[in-house]
Amino acid sequence: MRIDQSSAQLRSGSPTASAPSPVNALLPGDYLPAMNDLRSSLRDVADHIVDYRAGLQTSRVTPSSTRAEVREKLSMRLPDDGAALPDVISELVGHATPGLMASAGPRYFGFVVGGSVDAALAADLLTTGWDQVGFNEALSPAAIAFEDVAGSWLKDLLRIPASASVGFVTGAQAANTVGLAAARWKVLRDHGHDVGVDGLFGAPRIRVIAGEERHATVDRALRLLGFGERSLELVSSDDNGAMDPRSLAETLHRGSDGPTIIVAQAGNVNTGAFDDLTRIGSLAKEHQAWLHVDGAFGLWAAASPEYTHLVDGLEGADSWGCDGHKWLNVPYDSGYIFCAYPDVHATAMAYTAEYLTGQVADREFGGGDFVPESSRRSRGFATWAALRSLGRSGVAELIDRNCALARMLAERLGDVPGVEIPNDVVLNQVLIEVGDTAFTNRVEREIQKDGSVWMGATTWRGRRLLRAAISNWSTNKDDIEQTVSAIRRAMEAASD
């Protein structure tokens, strides 16, 4: 656009002071010297990344600067003149480092975060270098092909039917949103209403039934999709936080058999508990309800012969959400939505436009057809690389090792006076009771201040508890010993 305008100026032969520069001044010259800068800067960046990751084994986990402190150092007016590449990188590294959380390392147990295995990290750097748009084959055959293959591998590992569609989304929040959008389309179509054309105006009311311990992203997905909080009917859970199937049966019988969606969970974010997908699946079939499974991290149990029984029955669901960036240890952001009916999935999500080459009537769906974004990072490369480097046995070992470390942490803490483990450690999540709410909050602050490990607190069933999620490939036994010591120290400090 700017070049066109300046050509017009040149043609008119009367450039004015405010006119755009002549076209030649806007055309870049020789790129090669810049390429040499890029090569040396990327080598520096690679060295920095490797040193940073090696340092994670021993470094403090808690950052030394707060958001406000980092911002304070950064704050200046946007300079008029640009800076040279090496200067940009060194300013970036210098200013960011004090505010980095060592969440990629082995002693970060907050939320459910995971690290990144080397192959996935390298693939993600290549993804950035290649800068491919993961929309369709016309934009990048490789991006879509790698999603096709990585998607098949994921379905195989996660016991999802091979005929299911796969969308590579930002994370489980997006996966839940897309799964529920597909569900909304299908249950309404079964009742003669096309939500794609008419929206929710004039639609029969949809019942959405979920466990009282569902993840909060389900609520946000429902809000975004226009269901409203009142659509949600909650089912009580058992002692470890799994949905109680008898309570689900009662809830289903209590209401109408209109359009119904059930949201089950594989892996409770506090306790790791699994809903009974076999019983929930048969209730869903009986009531012609759509069953969506939120398996952000827990679905990975399917990939381990030791834990796969926890997800028995999952084959009977209609959609499944899962994360790559949590337990598969792919860099952020990486999630997956699987749907048993590719046509429903694509009808709910895909769009088309005149200029979209490759979008023909009998085309193979993929890429942008199964996600909410239009232009998008090519997420298949990093997932493919993680799976290729770990192999089937490596994924199973990662799951088994993290779960064994969680059990070890629970056992070792069980020996500490004043500590109770209130959940049944069925997977990788450990809840830690150290005292009343005020004391627990003090212990949490002391742990984070101490900085050798990082964990947060949660409120589960009215009790304030510390919470540890073990989902990093590099965590080992020594990290667990250090964690037990850190909790002991924090309890002593909080008692003073």
Ligand X SMILES: *Cc1c(COP(=O)(O)O)cnc(C)c1O
Which residues are near ligand X by CB under 6 A? 112, 171-173, 215, 217, 265, 267, 269, 294, 296-297, 323, 335
How far apart CA 319 and CA 335 sit, in angstroms, is: 14
* Least gap, CB of 179 to ligand X (angstroms): 11
CA angle 249, 251, 252 (to 5 degrees): 65
Q: How far is the CB of 335 from ligand X (least distance, A)?
A: 5
CA angle centred on 62, ends 56 and 63, rounded to 5°: 95
Give the shortest CB-182-to-ligand X separation in angstroms.
17
Q: How far is the CB of 424 from ligand X (least distance, A)?
A: 17
- Amino acid identity for residue 147 in this structure: E
Q: Select 265 or 452, whichever has its Cβ closest to ligand X.
A: 265
Residue 244 or 294 having the CB closest to ligand X: 294
Q: Which is nearer to ligand X, 121 or 269 (CB)?
A: 269
255: CB partners within 8 A, 6+ apart: 207, 233
Looking at residue 77, what DSSP letter applies?
A: P
Min. distance of Cβ 290 from ligand X in angstroms?
A: 18
Residue 164 gets which letter from DSSP?
A: -
CB of 174 to ligand X, least distance (A): 6
Q: What are phi and psi of 431, to 5 degrees?
A: -100, 140
**Least Å from the CB of residue 276 to ligand X:** 16
Residue 470 vs 486, nearer CB to ligand X: 470
The residue among 123 and 172 lying less far from ligand X, judged by its C-beta, is 172
DSSP state of 110: S
CB of 266 to ligand X, least distance (A): 8
Closest CA to 292 of 180, 215, 166, 213: 180
Structure tokens at 94: 């210098």
Measured from the CB atom, is 276 or 294 closer to ligand X? 294
Give the number of C-alpha atoms closer than 13 A to the C-alpha of residue 17, restricted to the C-beta side: 0
Q: How far is the CB of 222 from ligand X (least distance, A)?
A: 13
Considering beta carbons, is residue 112 or 427 the nearer one to ligand X? Answer: 112
CA angle 371, 372, 375 (to 5 degrees): 85
Residue of minimal CB distance from ligand X? 171
Q: How far apart are CA 423 and CA 430, in angstroms?
A: 7
CA distance 466 to 487: 10
Q: Are 287 and 349 in contact (CB under 8 A)?
A: no
The smaller minimum CB distance to ligand X, of residues 274 and 486, is found at 274
CA 26 vs CA 4, 17, 29, 158: distances in Å: 11, 16, 9, 52
308 or 334: CB nearest ligand X: 334
Distance in angstroms (rounded) separating the CA atoms of residues 62 and 98? 10
